[in-house]
Amino acid sequence: MSIDLKTIKHISKLSRISVDEKKAEKLADDLNSIFDFIEKLNELKTDKVEPLTSIAETTLKLRPDDIKSKNIREQIIKNSPQDNEDYFVVPKVIE
Amino acid sequence: MSDITKQSLTELVDNIKNKKLSSLDVTKAFIERSEKSKELNVYITNDFTSALDKAKKFDQKPNLNLKLPGIPMAVKDLFCTKDVKTTAGSKILNNFVPTYESTVTENIWNEGAILLGKLNCDEFAMGSSNETSFFGNVQNPIDKDLVPGGSSGGSASAVAGQLTPITIGTDTGGSIRQPASFTGTVGLKPTYGSCSRYGIVAFASSLDQAGPMAQNVKDCALLQEVISTYDSKDSTSVDFKRNQYSKELTNNINGKKIGIPKEYRVDGMPKEIEDLWQKGIQYVKDCGAETIDISLPHTSYALPTYYIVAPAEASSNLARYDGVKYGFRAKGENLIDMYEKTRSEGFGAEVQRRIMIGTYVLSSGYYDAYYLKAQKVRKLIKNDFDEAYKKVDAILTPSTPSSAFKIGEKTNDPVSMYLNDIFTVPVNLAGLPGISIPAGHDSKGYPLGLQIIGKAFDEQNILNIAYAIEEKIDFKNKITDWWIK
């Protein structure tokens, strides 16, 4: 299997990371060598194996949904790249 | 008292408790040495001024019943620290100041320790050499231009270089044990569910664990005792009866059965590593333990499995970095363009590579072939360990297939970089505890580590085995202070 530039463009779109031509070629090379290495898994027959979906064999516990941190709105807003009063500002989404 | 920074954590705690040293003496000593050690590049952010204030405050009304009374400590910059910048080694979090504290660090401060600063690491803990950090590579105190390992490279160098008495790292595929091995220090990756993941910048949630990195096994046990708590804020935290690891520590491992897995004898492994392993086998026998040859047949599938599972989880975890609520934002023509440019400029090459791999293996049409397949093989790997533990109490292997390498040596070949973690990754996939302890030097004088892998939640046992053979090994780290002019 080989990952071509078209696939790289597709993954880049899905992962919301812009790539130019040069970067796409480098990524295609890297990903192909990594996937060559990953292909080793196909040596194994796994039809009858149950997938491991959780390593901690524990049932999820419920806890009361209490509010513990109070009045941190200002500090949270302070971390945003752009804000306006109590809001996060993003580029215009509705024309 | 001179040479404060040469003392172990246990010695410092005793000296503070016996009032031979104040917290301020100790804090000052580590800050002074850190100031002289900028060339190692271990700190991303220092918090020295407030550390001195906290030390003075501690000394005014010292609570000597605490486990870490007035002990200064730097931590990996992957742990969120309230009001202190937390970057995860990334440009995308370069200006992020958490409004909350991670549970593990909170446990540490509650026992009286004082934050010295935040330590360099690979970006989002993705790397094995600390070269993917946005804040530059870290120097290994062992030799100039040598990598300290990764991702907890800053943590390992800080302990080995005596810039902090002890520290914490995180381990997703070997990120505590491999740098510990490269720097001649002790590193414990606890059982999945032992230490809370709350407030740790997430990489691969089913693999990530925090753990102590120390100069010796006893210090390591003491910190593990502090950081391992049940936490309702982490839904995968496990409520089990935790030991008093340092108090229960014993070098009596008489009659313990220790497995030697033949599959860890990999192609091209240097003779020095094989020799070290044989020495380790002799040490455990000398301590009265019995070694048994075992098989972990799916070992060679662990790395390919890891490089599906970890990037898949990372691609999902890192979706939150969109330049909206916190972190770096690039200018874009519209919202989507802003997202794409923010992530392209904010993440480094290795992180982008892993997000791409993860996105691909989870994408429509490829999920079954890659992600589901990897989850099934992960089950087989875990079954190998379950089978082995019917016969043995613990497993002994080398920590890494080589000693530390030079900065830049492996950066152009991701797969050769990934191979560093060949002995550590299976432990994360199976959710088990593993400890690396320094066990010798190679011909260049660089440290080499041995790994002891335990049953789930059996940290006490591997700490005991490590403690017993540590005595036999009598390892001395060769720190020449080459970076101090």
Q: Does position B365 have pLDDT exceeding 70, yes or no?
A: yes
CA gap B165, B116 in Å, rounded? 11
What is the tens place of the pLDDT at every residue in B448-468?
999 999 999 999 999 999 999
CB-based contact, B61 to chain A, within 8 Å: no
Structure tokens of A67? 């509010």
Average pLDDT over residues B79-84: 98
Please give the pLDDT value at position A23.
94
Residue B134's alpha-carbon distances to A16, A64, B44, B202, B413, in angstroms, are 20, 39, 10, 17, 19
Is B90 one of the catalytic residues? Answer: no
Average pLDDT of chain B, as a whole number: 96
Please give the pLDDT value at position B371.
96
CA gap B13, B11 in Å, rounded? 5
> In chain A, what are the domain boundaries?
5-43
Please give the pLDDT value at position A61.
80
Chain B residue with minimal CA distance to A51? B376
CA gap B463, B397 in Å, rounded? 15
Set of chain B residues whose Cβ sits within 8 Å of the Cβ of A16: 319, 322, 336, 339-340, 343
Given B335, B356, B413, which is nearest A27 (Cβ)?
Answer: B356
Chain B residue with minimal CA distance to A70? B99
Per-residue DSSP letter, B40: G
CB-based contact, A40 to chain B, within 8 Å: yes
CB-based contact, B305 to chain A, within 8 Å: yes
Average pLDDT over residues B295-316: 97
CA gap B146, B153 in Å, rounded? 11
Set of chain A residues whose Cβ sits within 8 Å of the Cβ of B352: 17, 27
- Cross-chain residue pair B357–A92, CB shorter than 8 Å: no
Q: Give me the catalytic one of B54, B67, B76, B189.
A: B76
CB-based contact, B230 to chain A, within 8 Å: no
CA gap B337, B342 in Å, rounded? 8
Structure tokens of B245? 């690891």
Given A14, A40, A78, which is nearest B304 (Cβ)?
Answer: A40
Taking a contact as any Cβ pair under 8 Å apart, which residues of chain A between 46 and 65 contact chain B? 46, 49-56, 58, 60-61, 63
B245 SS3 class: coil
Residue of B320, B74, B84, B81 lying closest to B205 (CA atoms) = B320
The region of weakest confidence among A55-64, B237-246, B249-258, B343-352 is: A55-64
Given B334, B353, B431, which is nearest A55 (Cβ)?
Answer: B431
What is the tens place of the pLDDT at every residue in B110-139?
999 999 999 999 999 999 999 999 999 999
CA gap B253, B285 in Å, rounded? 10
What is the tens place of the pLDDT at every residue in A12-47?
999 999 999 999 999 999 999 999 999 999 999 999
Q: Does position B196 have pLDDT exceeding 60, yes or no?
A: yes
- Answer yes or no: are the C-beta atoms of B44 and B138 closer than 8 Å: no
Residues of chain B above pLDDT 70, percent: 100
Average pLDDT over residues B189-194: 97
Please give the pLDDT value at position A1.
59
How many helices and strands in chain B, by DSSP H and E? 15, 11
What is the tens place of the pLDDT at every residue in B237-267?
999 999 999 999 999 999 999 999 999 998 8
Per-residue pLDDT band at A57 (split at 50, 70, 90): low
Q: Which residues contact B185 (CB under 8 A, 6 or more apart)?
A: B156, B159, B160, B179, B213, B214, B215, B438, B477
Is B175 one of the catalytic residues? Answer: yes
Q: Does position B2 have pLDDT exceeding 70, yes or no?
A: no
**ipTM of the predicted assembly exceeds 0.90:** yes
Helix B349-362 vs helix B302-317: angle between axes, to the nearest 10 degrees?
100
Average pLDDT over residues B182-207: 97
**CATH numbers and ranges of domains, chain B:** 4-257 (3.90.1300.10)
CB-based contact, A90 to chain B, within 8 Å: yes
Q: Specify the pTM.
A: 0.97
CATH tag, A5-43: 1.10.20
B394-398/B257-261 β-pairing: parallel
Q: Does position B440 have pLDDT exceeding 90, yes or no?
A: yes
- Cross-chain residue pair B97–A78, CB shorter than 8 Å: yes
